[in-house]
Structure 1
Amino acid sequence: MNYPLDAAHIIKKRQKIKKELIGELANPLTKRIAIMGGSTTNELVSLIEIFLLHANIQPIFYQSEYAQYFEESIFDNPKLKEFKPDVIYIYTTSVNIKGFPRISDTSPMIEEKLRFETESYCRIWDSLEKEYQCPIIQNNFDYPINRPLGNLDCCLEIGKTNFLLNLNLFFAKASRERRNLFISDINYLSSFVGLREWFDKNLWYSYKYAISYTGLVHLAKNISIILKSIFGKSKKCLVLDLDNTCWGGVIGDDGIDNIQIGNETAVGQAHQALQKYIIELKERGVVLAVCSKNDDNMARTGFSHPDSVLKISDFASFKANWKPKHENLVDICNEIKILPDALVFIDDNPMERDLVSQHLEEVGVPDIGHDIANFVEFIDREGYFEPVQLSHDDMKRSEYYQGNSQRNNYQAEFSDYNEYLVSLQMESEIATFSPLYAERIAQLTNKTNQFNLTTKRFTLDEIKRMMSLNSEYICLYGKLRDKFGDNGLISVVIGRIEKQNELHLDLWLMSCRVIKRGMEFAMLDALMKLVANRNIDTVYGYYIESPNNTMVKNLYRDFGFTCIEKNDSASKWIFEGDYKNKNKIIKVHL
């Protein structure tokens, strides 16, 4: 199920694979996925299912009738309404183009055909967004395997390739403007697989499969990567071995002058290419760490090599010692405050990879082999760090986690934890939801798992809707900064008002990078001030257990709430009466 994909094996054994994966599920995330097909979708659905099961996601599918993607999206659809999709995937390809340009078409005629296609898809997106308010995944277009105009097909207005290129550019622009529209780039995917392998004429003529079996496996993998990202299951941190990974050779034996990095050798170029790719990941928000069996001082010298793209300052955590690597990975998690399931570990040594996989099953450990030239491809094709959006907070994430490492070192100077917190000089901005932060708020609700009382997920449209219903909700965000830097928007509270005097807390979450700094009490003080201003006299809190949120099991008890209902996996709490502020450390700007 991991790269490199054995498409023939997956197709042949998919029922057996499915059975095995179902038996391995542990507290899976259940999601309802509607597939609006422009061609036959049965095989695709079965393949998407096993890739999601492999990610511990239990999918429930709705399939449109054959090629009825437009009609079922535009017109009243009671079955789809009853299904209540979490995500809708529009599975169309170039075979669904209604009218390609003809040789005799004039420019206005071609523009009209292009307008017809774009307006048709806009109608689909508008209708689905309005009715279902959920993420929409849309294929762009693969190129046709035949080109009547040859190489001119991509240049002339009448060319099919040129026509599809313009449609793909329109789709890309639409996805930037519509925050719930996500593009599945089959234009790239078909190129990666190869057009001759991507499209099978016999499958199309006989069964109306718009993509070959091989292509369907790669597409299913790609869709599962996008879905995992939408559901908040992308990885956050790339952990690197050093010797024969970041550079060629062994720094302890060869010394800085003799490791291979740079343009002098083919191996050195490949290691430098890997470092360049890793820097690009860091620049868009992936956190970097080192886990190496090495002398610490010697290991650090490798990054002072003049041809090293990576520098010591790029890493949020640096573990070079002789401990087992799985233990160092746990230490990295504790230091930068993330869970092991957020890690991807890269190591050229198969024994080390195997040991980490055995001790920390949730860590992503690609079987990268020994050839450094292929390392980037293994990381890239697996889609570990797939983003569905890129926010300002995303691009600063590495900086945030590096700040946590600095705070940990600084904390060691204090014997009294409270004194340490005071010395951080923390300041917070707490306010009701703002359109400026709507995307970040929606992102947090879908990615935060540890400090999350109910793990309810909300789309951007749902966040905007709550913002417009001010009389029915109290919704707060919190930002935090200290002497080491700005942590960004890191906390969200959503309360639903009932009977005018009751507030039900549907969501309370906080980013793991600010845990144990008292921000939850600052948020509670701000919430209770608004509660008093609105003459609300009863506040209900809810805890719903998940695999990762047991750390907040007793949060409402710590807030001074009283438990009124409880079972093995959930509890309900109540607060009534006068409230006294609990935050004594953070300076709050309301």
Structure 2
Amino acid sequence: MKKELLYPFDANYILAKKKRIKRELLAEGERFVDKKIAILGGSTTNDIKLILELFLLNQGIRPSFYESEYNKYYEDAVFDNAELEAFAPDLIYIHTSNRNITRYPQMSDSKSRITDLLEAEYQKYCTIWESIADRYHCPIIQNNFEMPMYRLMGNRDASDRHGKVNFLTRLNMLFYDYADNHEDFYICDINYISADYGLAEWSDPFFYHMYKYALNVNAIPYLAFNVANIIKSVFGKNKKGLVLDLDNTLWGGVIGDDGVENIALGQEVAEGQIYSEFQNYVKEQTQLGVILNIDSKNDFENAKAGIEHPDSAFCMQDFIEVKANWEPKDQNFREIAEDLNLLPESLVFVDDNPAERSIVAQNLDGVCAPEIGDARDYIRILDRNGFFETTILSEDDQKRNEMYRANADRKKSLHAFTDYHAYLESLQMKGTILPFDEMSLNRVAQLSNKSNQFNLTTKRYTRDEMEMRAKDENYITLYGKLEDKFGDNGIVSVVIGKRVKEECHIELWIMSCRVLKRDMEYAMLDTLIETCQNKGIKKIRGFYYPTAKNAMVKDFYGKMGFSQVACDAAGNSEWELEITLVWEKKNNVICVNGE
């Protein structure tokens, strides 16, 4: 990833060098997924589109765009639009602002009149959102409203129903309620972004009256960056964990030199308070399922003493992997990723030392090592980068740390066995494999967008697309949950098959790397075959499309008993499996659906 596109970035540099930055990003090759983004603007959007493209490319998403004509966002969304329909967007971003509100309350308006005004404005947007949902079945990102340039009544503008501040705040709350009750609908919080940037600068009227931009042109990278963070989260490009240094990162000072009693941590001095606040911020991330790890040049016992300091927010159990030694940090980082069965790029490196950050970023492709600045800047810089931007927060997300700790316990248990099959039997595994249902759809869609290594066809789906397949009789949909004596792994595998006459063509087969080599793939195949038999299907056809990340499943179908029937020069292969009348089940260690 280009560090110029990580926060804190130089907005003027990005605006000036956008063509060069784009060429450099595109030169990186095959790492992209292609997505079609429609921007429906209530003001000029051209530079927003160009800068948004850079941030998406940096996240591994190569966008193509549909852009509405100036201030035609309502018409494009609500009325017949052959061009937009042919474009078939994967996501629609509605870029509106308080400039698009033409009727505010007047001081003479009654309470009921103001309520009617508010409802009319809200219903206009509801019409837009529902038209998009009905026509395009894709996720929507909608700006909320920034505060006005001026307050007619001063501070009373916020509390008096006649005030613009009050009106916009109430309208924003209606938007939030809608988001809370509708899937695949997300708010871009320009109310916060503009405040963070500086409302007076953000709303500089020069740019609207001269160019019809609803914000300062120099603020466009900050807006585009936030929109890109939502998009990359929707399409499964979020990071999964932090790898943290210790000395001068989680506490002030060098514990090996200063001693545990002299590190800066706690409420006694200002420096210690800053590090305590940062520790609390980091620990809060675990509520989102962010996994925490340590990579420190330290003696292990010193590291342990610091982590368990009386004023520390942490205990050793808060970290999945702790590498405290004198090995190179990039080597430790790579080992942490391997132990977690994650790609290194899934983890963010947080270290106060610029030399260590540089070594890790240069030697581990795709790893983010943000320039975190002084200790008082740590929270702001990590937070604004949006590494863990939340669009869906599933029950499995909230349990992720627990799941990874359980995996560490499983590894310890494995060392007690010389027979791997006996080890699998000792886990007492129970599987639940069922067709998609309302409760599973969020996690199923999330898994389809996050899975890179065990993903045979590399297809990605929104929740709506998953739901449509679940309701279509021509599709077989299965999700698999796995638990054992160490804990519940949640939903770990998804299969989608499409019926084509007497064949089932596998559109998607993915599995979480947390459960590799646990025979869950055999349990899924057994259930798929049983489902096919019940539908009179006689053959299963599977497809493998290679990427830079899914080489581990190149020969998956062959190992599962399929025969290869085609393979092209690019490595794309096709496989088939005849379904016998009596299928000998391949799974014999997982108890599926209570049987």
TM-score scaled to structure 1, two decimals? 0.98
1:133 corresponds to 2:134: no
Distance change >3 Å, CA 532–CA 291, structure 1 → 2: same
* Conserved 8 A contact 1:101-1:160: yes
* Conserved 8 A contact 1:238-1:287: yes
Equivalent position of 2:522 in the other structure: 521
SS of 2:93's equivalent in the other structure is: strand
Q: Cα offset for 1:348? A: 0.9
Task: After superposition, give the CA deviation of every residue in 1:200-226 in whole Å (9 maximum; x if it has no partner).
Answer: 211111221101112211001111111
* Conserved 8 A contact 1:26-1:56: no
Range 7-16 or range 142-151, more displaced: 7-16
Q: Cα offset for 1:277? A: 0.4
Equivalent position of 2:533 in the other structure: 532
1:167 corresponds to 2:171: yes
Structure 2 CA distance for aligned equivalents of residues 98 and 461 of structure 1: 34
Structure 2 CA distance for aligned equivalents of residues 7 and 155 of structure 1: 35
* Conserved 8 A contact 1:199-1:215: no
Range 443-452 or range 184-193, more displaced: 443-452
SS of 1:158's equivalent in the other structure is: coil
1:398 corresponds to 2:401: yes
Structure 1 CA distance for aligned equivalents of residues 571 and 61 of structure 2: 20
Equivalent position to 1:234, from 235, 238, 250: 238
Task: After superposition, give the CA deviation of every residue in 1:262-284 in whole Å (9 maximum; x if it has no partner).
Answer: 00111111111111001110122
Equivalent position of 1:427 in the other structure: 430
* Conserved 8 A contact 1:336-1:402: no
Q: Cα offset for 1:249? A: 1.4
* Conserved 8 A contact 2:540-2:579: no
Q: Cα offset for 1:20? A: 2.5
Equivalent position to 1:487, from 489, 496, 509: 489
Number of aligned pairs? 587
Structure 1 CA distance for aligned equivalents of residues 588 and 282 of structure 2: 41
1:387 corresponds to 2:416: no
Any gaps of 5 or more consecutive residues in structure 1? none
* Conserved 8 A contact 1:335-1:404: no
Structure 2 CA distance for aligned equivalents of residues 51 and 410 of structure 1: 43
Equivalent position to 1:280, from 284, 291, 308: 284
Equivalent position of 1:446 in the other structure: 449
* Conserved 8 A contact 2:105-2:162: yes
Task: Within 5 Å, give how 1:121-520 maps onto structure 2.
Answer: 121-369=125-373, 371-469=374-472, 471-499=473-501, 501-520=502-521
Task: Please provide the CA RMSD for this pair.
Answer: 1.2
Q: Cα offset for 1:400? A: 1.0
Q: Cα offset for 1:454? A: 0.7
Q: Which amino acid aligns with 2:376?
A: A
SS of 1:474's equivalent in the other structure is: strand
SS of 1:452's equivalent in the other structure is: coil
Structure 2 CA distance for aligned equivalents of residues 130 and 159 of structure 1: 35
Q: Cα offset for 1:25? A: 3.8
Structure 2 CA distance for aligned equivalents of residues 521 and 26 of structure 1: 31
Task: After superposition, give the CA deviation of every residue in 1:494-552 in whole Å (9 maximum; x if it has no partner).
Answer: 111121x2111100011111111110001111111111111110111111112211111
SS of 2:191's equivalent in the other structure is: helix
Equivalent position of 1:557 in the other structure: 558
Q: Which amino acid aligns with 1:386?
A: E
Structure 2 CA distance for aligned equivalents of residues 430 and 12 of structure 1: 53
SS of 2:260's equivalent in the other structure is: coil
Structure 2 CA distance for aligned equivalents of residues 27 and 465 of structure 1: 28
Structure 2 CA distance for aligned equivalents of residues 559 and 318 of structure 1: 36
Q: Cα offset for 1:19? A: 2.5
Q: Which amino acid aligns with 1:539?
A: I
* Conserved 8 A contact 2:435-2:477: yes
Q: Cα offset for 1:361? A: 2.7
SS of 2:383's equivalent in the other structure is: helix
Structure 2 CA distance for aligned equivalents of residues 461 and 30 of structure 1: 19
* Conserved 8 A contact 1:25-1:56: no
Q: Cα offset for 1:242? A: 0.7
Structure 2 CA distance for aligned equivalents of residues 392 and 513 of structure 1: 16
Structure 1 CA distance for aligned equivalents of residues 579 and 312 of structure 2: 61
Q: Which amino acid aligns with 1:115?
A: E
Range 562-571 or range 518-527, more displaced: 562-571
Q: Cα offset for 1:81? A: 0.6
Q: Cα offset for 1:16? A: 2.4
Q: Which amino acid aligns with 1:460?
A: R
Task: After superposition, give the CA deviation of every residue in 1:308-356 in whole Å (9 maximum; x if it has no partner).
Answer: 0011111111111111111111111111111111010111111111110
Q: Which amino acid aligns with 2:156?
A: L
Q: Which amino acid aligns with 1:486?
A: D
Task: After superposition, give the CA deviation of every residue in 1:399-430 in whole Å (9 maximum; x if it has no partner).
Answer: 11121122122222222222221211111111
Equivalent position to 2:17, from 7, 13, 16: 13
Task: Within 5 Å, give how 1:548-587 maps onto structure 2.
Answer: 548-567=549-568, 568-578=570-580, 579-587=583-591
SS of 2:27's equivalent in the other structure is: helix
1:72 corresponds to 2:73: no
Structure 2 CA distance for aligned equivalents of residues 316 and 515 of structure 1: 18
TM-score scaled to structure 2, two decimals? 0.97
* Conserved 8 A contact 1:25-1:53: no
* Conserved 8 A contact 1:316-1:401: yes
* Conserved 8 A contact 1:333-1:340: yes
Structure 2 CA distance for aligned equivalents of residues 154 and 25 of structure 1: 51
* Conserved 8 A contact 1:335-1:408: no
Q: Cα offset for 1:302? A: 1.1
Q: Cα offset for 1:398? A: 1.3
Equivalent position to 1:98, from 98, 102, 111: 102
Structure 1 CA distance for aligned equivalents of residues 138 and 445 of structure 2: 12
Equivalent position to 2:58, from 54, 60, 78: 54
* Conserved 8 A contact 2:529-2:579: no
Q: Cα offset for 1:82? A: 0.6
